[in-house]
Amino acid sequence: MNIIVPTSDADLIAKVRAHLRSSATDGVERRFTPGMVERRAAADGKPGGFRGYAAVFNSKSENFGSDDYPYFEVIDAGFFDNVLNDDIRCLFNHDQNLILGRSKAGKGTCRVSQDATGLGYDCEASEISYARDLGISIDRGDVTQSSFAFRITDDGDRLVVENGIVTRTLKKGGCARLYDVSPVTYPAYAATEVALRELRGLRKPTQPTFNPNATVIRARELDLASAE
């Protein structure tokens, strides 16, 4: 039986801060979120593009900590206010060798936007083999998550302890740099979406219109975690 030793609020916050430092690479953090996915074949037979929400606002994450320091995250609306014109890639699984599109100063083969729901991305179709293969994986239901890689400002978050549980809020305007958005294999948040869409729709400058409340159970990930 695990015996949880009471810890002060300051100690809990210190543990979370230490966890954040150790889990980030050169200050870059990554967050993963599951969601429903759909495929709509293009009328001309060409592969469709990708669109989805890489982050959803005001959605509580899964526990990023442990039994002795439960730790959750919430993203405030407007967290990405200052970074939408960054040089942002759309990658598969955050792999720089698997680039699906790029947004630079708001232009390019991937459009990144922010609305009341969250951080949306809209990537053009590609004939590159791995992009076509990813479309097949989405169609099969093998890939159903999105993610984003980011860095926060010095005061870009706040940590609050309530009943021994730490909640970290990523504050409005607190993102210092947005590196990439990615369809991914494994999740960490409980609400986001990625979809494969037909080529015709890619020409329309519309915002993603998904249902952010759909969730996917992480059975495979939990099986792997329990086996470690």
Alpha-carbon distances, residue 210 vs 37, 51, 113, 118, 195 (angstroms): 9, 9, 14, 11, 9
For 165, list phi and psi in degrees, rounded to 5: -115, 130
Interval 16-61: pLDDT, tens: 888 888 888 888 998 876 554 444 456 465 556 787 888 989 988 8
**Which residue's structure tokens are 């998904």?**
210
- 174 within a domain of the structure (yes/no): yes
- 3 within a domain of the structure (yes/no): no
- At residue 148, the pLDDT reads 92
- At residue 51, the pLDDT reads 78
- At residue 47, the pLDDT reads 55
Is the Cβ–Cβ distance between 184 and 94 less than 8 Å? yes
- 74 within a domain of the structure (yes/no): yes
Q: How far apart are the first and last CA of the chain?
A: 19
Tally of domains in the chain: 1
- 1 within a domain of the structure (yes/no): no
- 4 within a domain of the structure (yes/no): no
- At residue 187, the pLDDT reads 58
- 72 within a domain of the structure (yes/no): yes
Q: Could you say which residues of the chain have pLDDT below 50?
A: 1-5, 36-40, 43, 190-192, 195-228
- 2 within a domain of the structure (yes/no): no
Domain that holds residue 169: 9-227
- 128 within a domain of the structure (yes/no): yes
132 CA to centre of own chain = 21
